[in-house]
A and B are shown apart, each in its own frame.
Chain A
């Protein structure tokens, strides 16, 4: 089996081992300082108790570090290689077992591509036969995800919204806690913000084409392959290209933090609101007739077109937001 060349890196290994063997290097001194309890009031009794406490804490740390040192010594000399080899061997065995078990199950599944597979039952039959007249969407998949099984797709958009909030929690540099102007951790194009000429020139040429294609995919979601998710991702890519071409601060003046979060908020609110009206009326038997228009035209398929536009906007701004959070720490 070719050697997996993820050797244990010498440099990091040295830093960890010298921390273990001879006490604390610079990195760790300030970390342990942060952990010591605040000083007690200056009364004499409190002073002695404090010293006793410090003494005991220091002895604890001594005992702890030589325990680590002994563990480390064993692992470096003999245990590490065996432990790692055993772990790798076990991992390969477990994965092999899982794959064998799954392959055996697959061979017992109904054959692929046959007409009589249990999957082709009345559920998929109705999506195809009565899909166009019930949802107005010519693309059965868009009709299914935005009308028949709309609750999954609503959960789907909230997964995307939740991920953008979580990444914002991690990577957004807030003005006040970063003293002074927010240092851009990096701009992909290195020093100057406009990047080298090839990227800039090609982006200026390519951006309108990609943006147009993305918009077309979003708008034709119900009558051709594509839809909110695919079109949104293409538009997100186009925005990233634009921020490289026209320079990051000019684009961030156009799409500011406030505007982007408000746009995502309104799109998601409209999406959740429209869908909860449909769910409520459907469950309580209140008839709700939305004009479906005639198939193959853009203004057809009732709610699916506005929902596709909302999903496209949400996906585009979220993907662009991810990119800006990684490169600049904010919109």
Chain B
């Protein structure tokens, strides 16, 4: 075992131990840990990604007992790239948002906020790497609890109400997930994903009724947690009313962990053909199509900038489900690529929106944000870059992910590809409606008097520029990233 192969184990345990440390450390040291640890994990996973150029995916048994008896992690190029990207998003959003954390969260409870952020990152790393379904369920619970704590950390009326609605809906979702996992254990007797695949492969023919039920239960449970169309009521309030750092973390890091587990379940436990044969794929695509339209339509109607971004997050999540619904390796690569683009773009949008509201009297409605782009240059540029990337303008990530999805859609013959291409065009049109309207709004000449300008820290500006650089990298030089993802998906099953 090369030393770099310990990175998955170290990144999970490091997060957990640092979260323990933050609980007893004073606020200042805890905030430093919350900013530094995601960076360490990003570097470790980057090293693992480069090591995977000449390394085969390997299994990492947790303990002295091999796979079906003990837990185990499985690391491949796809998992390494995704955890490096999500750790980088968490690192940048926490550094950018730490200023607001100090202002909005009560003084003696900031170290508890750092405990919760580190636990979120630990849960997402574990969801990316685990090869055991019940470990996946335990870390789904950790991720749900820490996301609820992220939402109510600001402790004002709306975030408490939003976090309660979030918890009630997500706990129903994880109850359904556990029901699916126990039914799968009932028919296969295994909890390890590859062993499940072997015992399912023994039973030939179309997927049996319990297997179809398991797929439905897990898909519904995890799409409740990701905020797919019919189950997205909790999402706008949850993302809009928490501190900017936590809404960036929630929209870009937490929902990606559940999505990745669902893709892993489809490709590794059940196989894409069974998913297509069971008719689940068409159901997912149609729900995603509806979600795309309704999310964008809602976003146009919003007058609060944060709620607009949250509803656009509903649309982007259903964009990824649209790609997953196509059930081909290229479509899965497009889905994972768009997950990363959405992670970087959305966190930048939330944090630049908080910067814009700093210079317009702390309000988020369109009237007071007029001309905010001119008053706060960095936040205005970041917001424009993020908005334009989400609509899919060339030189930015959104454009490439739409191209990769349309290639994947054309490759799959049949009515589904035509529908996907139509939905792509329609969603691009709707995205431009509300995003460019907001971008034009922040550069329109503002009211005569300029409200008092709240000082913005250096950390905020530096991380915003880094985020812009990463988004530009995703748009222009991401061919190597895409090839790594393609290789990862081929080695994933």
Contacts and interface: CB of A to CB of B under 8 A. Distances in A.
- Asked whether any CB of A lies within 8 Å of a CB of B in the complex, the reply is yes
Interface of A: 37-38, 40-41, 43, 45-46, 49-50, 53, 56, 101-102, 104-105, 108-110, 117-124, 126-127, 134, 147-152, 154-156, 158-159, 161-163, 165-166, 168-170, 172, 174, 176-177, 261-262, 264-265, 268-269, 272-273, 276, 278-285, 288
A156 B108 contact: no
Given A105-B209, A168-B112, A276-B13, A152 B106 contact: no
A127 to B, nearest CB: 7
B68 A268 contact: no
Contacts of B210: 105, 108-109
Contact of A169 (B60, B109, B119, B363): B109
A251 to B, nearest CB: 22
B353 to A, nearest CB: 17
A133 to B, nearest CB: 13
Mostly, the A contact residues are: helix
Contacts of B199: 118
Contacts of B132: 151-152
A229 B404 CA distance: 49
Nearest to B150: A166
Contacts of B447: 49, 53
A53 B155 CA distance: 29
Nearest to A279: B62
Most chain B Cβ neighbours within 10 Å, of A102, A161, A165 = A165
Contacts of A262: 24
B183 A284 contact: no
Contacts of B430: none
A123 B106 CA distance: 49
B113 to A, nearest CB: 7
9 contacts: A123-B69, A123-B190, A147-B65, A154-B16, A155-B126, A162-B115, A170-B155, A265-B23, A281-B64
A3 to B, nearest CB: 25
A123 B24 contact: no
Interface string B446-466: 011101100000000000000
A110 B70 contact: no
Interface string B98-110: 0000000011110
B492 interface: no
Interface string B191-213: 00000000100000000111001
B261 to A, nearest CB: 14
A49 B135 contact: no
A172 B139 CA distance: 26
Contacts of A134: 65
10 cross-chain pairs, A with B, having the tightest CB-CB distances, nearest first: A155-B138, A151-B71, A105-B213, A282-B64, A166-B149, A118-B189, A46-B449, A282-B63, A151-B62, A108-B209
B188 interface: yes
Contacts of A261: 23-24
Given A159-B145, A283-B1, A151 B115 contact: no
A119 B189 contact: yes
Contact of B112 (A49, A56, A169, A268): A169
B20 A283 contact: no
Contacts of A168: 109, 112
A88 B23 CA distance: 44
A174 B106 contact: yes
Nearest to A41: B449
Nearest to B63: A282
A104 to B, nearest CB: 7
A49 B370 CA distance: 15
A264 B23 CA distance: 10
